């Protein structure tokens, strides 16, 4: 990589806090129904922004968009770090600020009260574009959106049809991503996979439909053709758990990404258990068990504003455990049955 000299660091004594450092590069994106402005000291830091949020489907807002502001600052290249990959982000809070820290030269400071954030990235960290995008920039965007728009952040996915959606919840490895993939291939509306944001007042689910992350073993259920090649030729990313997944870009035109939030009609906890009979794939959860399962599945969301309202509203809907069928298409059919039955009942 060519040497990059961040502007504004020529006289560190005169401006030790970089308060007069210019941000000559800017980009504005509509994300999660809000307006995000990114100001940067160097164009290289706008590349992961474009990679994450460029070309997203846009809905037509019915009211002015909430606005958020991120400052992206490039810091000087450091001596070769003594790690094979960047260490995990450490989180901290205080004085109304939220922080995500990789090290002294790579961190995020979020002032959600003022709807602003600072993201600092060192030159050498640009050699790790996935970590810059996913663990620094997207981290800041998601926290600002959740706190600033009173959305509940969930680890899961969401599929739907005709403006209605079903949450896909469950432990990592249970098969949420594979189910989301086949729902997409079968023509369902895809909201997002990995991070879903729910408004507990309206029970509408939204997300960033940019990437789908699936393991290589998911390809065995896909016939040879353009769809399989699209996934198999996608870049791979390595999660902190060590699991490697394809990162398939949904903006290449495969499947239908929802252009507006979906009104939730229920949720399924995806299970790795295989159903003996496909007629028994969906197991209704007792009303008294729903809150317990949600708390165990979403520990971070359970501590956020709006959690109790969300649990109450979801408990009034259809919540099931979804066991696997012989093929993921059977699971997609089960999801469709939930959406159809709710549609008929509410008509």
| One-character DSSP codes across 258-312 | -SSPEEEEEEEEEEEEEPSSGGGSEEEPPHHHHHHHHHHH-TTGGGSTTHHHHHH
- Using CA atoms, how far residue 258 sits from 7, 16, 207, 255, 343, in Å, is 40, 46, 9, 10, 18
d(CA 279, CA 299): 32
CATH number of domain containing 327: 3.40.50.300
pLDDT band with cut points at 50, 70 and 90 for residue 343: very low
Residues 311 and 271 in one domain: yes
d(CA 45, CA 68): 17
- Over pLDDT 70: what percentage of the chain? 93
Residues 203 and 93 in one domain: no
- Over pLDDT 90: what percentage of the chain? 71
Is a pLDDT exceeding 50 seen at residue 1? no
d(CA 144, CA 19): 22
Query: Which of the residue ranges 43-47, 163-167, 328-332 would you say has the lowest mean pLDDT?
Result: 328-332
3-state secondary structure of 250: helix
pLDDT per residue over 102-157, tens digit each? 999 999 999 999 999 999 999 999 999 999 999 999 999 999 999 999 999 999 99
Is a pLDDT exceeding 60 seen at residue 71? yes
The secondary structure of 27-86, three-state, reads: EEEEECCEEEEEEECCHHHHHHHHHHHCCCCCCCCCCCCCEEEEEEEEECCCCCCCCCCC
Decide: 159 and 189 in contact? Cβ < 8 Å.
yes
Residues 172 and 309 in one domain: yes
Decide: 76 and 9 in contact? Cβ < 8 Å.
yes
Selected residue with higher pLDDT from 84 and 8: 84
3-state secondary structure of 199: strand
Helix (H) or strand (E) holding 153: strand 152-161
pTM of the model: 0.91
Is a pLDDT exceeding 90 seen at residue 86? yes
- Residue 168: burial class (beta carbons within 10 Å; 0-12, 13-18, 19+): buried
The predicted pLDDT at position 3 comes to 54
pLDDT per residue over 8-17, tens digit each? 445 667 778 8
Last residue of a domain, one of 103, 126, 148: 148
Residue 332 — φ and ψ, nearest 5°? -65, -40
Is a pLDDT exceeding 80 seen at residue 243? yes
Look at the chain and report how many structural domains it folds into: 2
Domain that holds residue 161: 152-346
Decide: 119 and 72 in contact? Cβ < 8 Å.
yes
Residues 102 and 173 in one domain: no
């Amino acid at each position: 990589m060519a040497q990059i000299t961040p502007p504004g660091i020529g006289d560190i004594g005169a401006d030790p806090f970089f308060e007069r450092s210019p941000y000559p590069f800017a980009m504005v994106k509509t994300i999660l129904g809000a307006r995000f402005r990114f100001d940067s000291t160097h164009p290289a830091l706008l590349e992961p922004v474009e990679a994450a949020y460029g070309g997203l489907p846009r809905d037509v807002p019915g009211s002015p968009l909430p606005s958020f502001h991120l400052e992206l600052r490039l810091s000087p290249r450091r001596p070769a770090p003594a790690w094979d990959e960047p260490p995990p982000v450490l989180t901290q809070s205080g004085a109304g600020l939220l922080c995500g820290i990789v090290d002294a030269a790579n961190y995020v400071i979020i002032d959600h009260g003022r709807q602003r954030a600072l993201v600092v990235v060192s030159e050498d960290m640009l050699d790790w574009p996935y970590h810059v995008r996913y663990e620094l920039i997207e981290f800041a965007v998601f926290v600002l959106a959740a706190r600033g728009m009173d959305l509940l952040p969930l680890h899961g996915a969401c599929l739907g049809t005709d403006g209605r959606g079903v949450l896909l919840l469950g432990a990592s490895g249970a098969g949420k991503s594979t189910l989301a993939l086949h729902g997409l291939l079968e023509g369902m509306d895809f909201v997002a996979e990995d991070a879903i944001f729910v408004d507990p007042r309206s029970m509408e689910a939204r997300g960033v439909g940019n990437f789908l992350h699936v393991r290589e073993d998911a390809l065995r259920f896909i016939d040879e053709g353009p769809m399989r090649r699209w996934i198999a030729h996608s870049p791979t990313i390595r999660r902190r758990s060590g699991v490697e997944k394809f990162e398939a870009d949904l903006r290449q035109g495969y499947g239908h990404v929802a252009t507006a939030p979906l009104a939730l009609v229920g949720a399924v906890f995806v299970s790795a258990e295989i159903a003996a009979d496909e007629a028994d794939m969906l197991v209704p959860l007792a009303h008294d068990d729903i809150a317990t399962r949600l708390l165990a599945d979403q520990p971070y969301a359970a501590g956020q504003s709006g959690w109790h309202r969300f649990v109450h509203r979801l408990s009034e809907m259809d919540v099931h455990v979804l066991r696997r069928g012989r093929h993921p298409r059977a699971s997609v059919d089960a999801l469709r049955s939930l959406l159809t039955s709710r549609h008929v009942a509410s008509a």
